[in-house]
Amino acid sequence: PIKYRTIESLRTMSSDAKEGSQAADDTPVAVIPGRPTWQQTMLRIKDPAKSLPFYQDLLGMTLIDKFDFPQYKFSLYFLTTLPQGEKYDLTPGSQAAHDYLWSMDGVALELTHNHGTESDAEFAGYHAGNKERDGFGHIAVNVDDVYATSEKLEKAGCSFKKKPDEGRMKGLAFVYDPDGYWVEIVKRSEEANIANEMNLSQTMLRVKDPKKSLAFYKALGMKVLSERHYSDFSLFFLGSSVVA
């Protein structure tokens, strides 16, 4: 079976696209050279001392690499979900870690820290998306039991945008990360063969015209894995194959 490195979710509101254009277009699209694959999602963070423990200790990710640019006053942290039981012995910031980052089959979460924000009393934080007409929505993790995971995160002191039994969509949750970004907690499919308690699964972006957006991402080597259509919005899930 083809292995996909991860999924991207594109969401379109019915009012943003012409009637009938929500369905995926099967017209062939030429893929750009170089076997492109989705490599990372970047979030800006205020304080790595708070964000790194959240993603490592609570969401089970591994810090695989780090770049420091003191001359420009920012640092980059790269995390990923490694297969359960796989040990990572490389030192973040080393050349070996750099080589791993840019050649791995998985997808990374990049956290960008602009130095000084963690101690700036006047810094109110970054815009986390999800306001009217915002494009960025959230990242997501897959789990076997949304209710058990949500309870665990709540006991760890996390706050929620939505708990599993709240709202009209039952059985999924949104937890806030330390900067207020939404992290969706989604139940895995019964066919999934993933031993991790949690794994980084997707990034959600809102799009205006799915026909144009799907063609763009297809040109970057992605495939439409699934689509769902509702009365007022549609969802398109895309992934990059790691098979040459």
Residue pLDDT tens, the chain, 244 long? 344 555 567 777 654 544 444 566 667 788 888 888 899 999 999 999 999 999 999 999 999 999 999 999 999 999 999 999 999 999 999 999 999 999 998 899 999 999 999 999 999 999 999 988 899 999 999 999 999 999 999 999 999 999 999 988 899 999 999 999 999 999 998 888 899 999 999 999 999 999 999 999 999 999 999 999 999 999 999 998 766 4
- What's the CA gap between 3 and 95, in Å, rounded? 27
Enter the pTM of the model: 0.90
CA distances from 165 to 64, 160, 228 (A): 35, 12, 21
pLDDT of res. 31: 84
Sheet containing strand 74-80, strands side by side: 40-45, 108-114, 74-80, 62-69
Cβ atoms within 10 A of the Cβ of 159, count? 9
Q: Which H/E stretch holds residue 141?
A: strand 136-143
Per the CB < 8 A criterion, the answer to whether 110 and 104 are in contact is: no
Active site positions, annotated: 184
Per the CB < 8 A criterion, the answer to whether 5 and 38 are in contact is: yes
> Ramachandran region of residue 84, left (φ > 0), alpha (ψ -120 to 50) or beta?
beta
